[in-house]
């Protein structure tokens, strides 16, 4: 949009066991976490350049510190801090679905049909599946 400021993306990456984990945050909060098998050693700026083509990218571990800590806790099956600032955008349905998923208690599972009912769209199970396939923060919205 005209006059809209492009958000700067701060990125970093870590190796966790057999995973390469890539982090992206903005000044507002966590934007994305991506995980790949450790076969790749691609730097975070190269990794995110196609995902955020209009945003300046800066490698910055400090800006991603809370996000890195939370992901490492989740991967170690430890409690994740409840309040990580997020900067996630999506359609109204995507946002409602991610909020619903975040309310599911740890260790509990729900089907896509159950999540669809949670967001008031009982016949949207396939749409919930598509939303989850585009989930930018899978450890926060499992």
From CA 46, how far away is CA 52, in angstroms rounded? 10
Give, as one character, the DSSP assignment of residue 4. Answer: P
Contact 18, 38 (CB under 8 A): yes
Q: Alpha-carbon distance 66 to 83, whole Å?
A: 10
Say what the pTM is: 0.81
pLDDT, tens digit (0-9, with 9 covering 90-100), for 90-127: 999 999 999 899 888 878 899 999 999 999 999 999 99
- Rounded distance, CA 126 to CA 136, Å? 18
Least confidently predicted of 21-25, 46-50, 79-83: 79-83
Instruction: Give the mean pLDDT of 70-88.
Output: 82
The pLDDT score that the predictor gives to residue 77 is 81
- The beta strand positions in the chain, using DSSP E, are 9-16, 19-25, 30-37, 57-59
Flag whether pLDDT at 31 surpasses 90: yes
Give residues with Cβ within 8 angstroms of 66, minimum separation 6. Answer: 30, 81, 84, 85
- In the Cβ-directed half-sphere of 124, how many Cα atoms lie within 13 Å? 17
Higher-confidence residue of 125 and 78: namely 125
């Amino acid at each position: 949009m005209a006059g809209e400021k492009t958000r700067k993306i701060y990125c970093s990456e870590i190796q966790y066991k057999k995973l390469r984990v890539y982090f992206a945050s903005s000044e507002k909060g966590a934007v994305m976490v991506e995980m790949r098998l450790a076969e790749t050693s691609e730097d975070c700026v190269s990794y995110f350049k196609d995902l955020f083509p209009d945003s300046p990218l800066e490698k910055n571990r400090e800006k991603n510190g809370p996000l890195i800590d939370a992901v490492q806790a989740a991967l170690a099956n430890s409690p994740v801090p409840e309040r990580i600032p997020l900067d996630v955008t999506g359609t109204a349905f995507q946002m409602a679905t991610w909020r619903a998923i975040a309310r599911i208690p740890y260790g509990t599972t729900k089907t896509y049909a159950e999540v669809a009912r949670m967001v008031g769209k009982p016949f949207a199970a396939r749409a919930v599946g598509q939303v989850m396939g585009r989930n930018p923060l899978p450890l926060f919205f499992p």
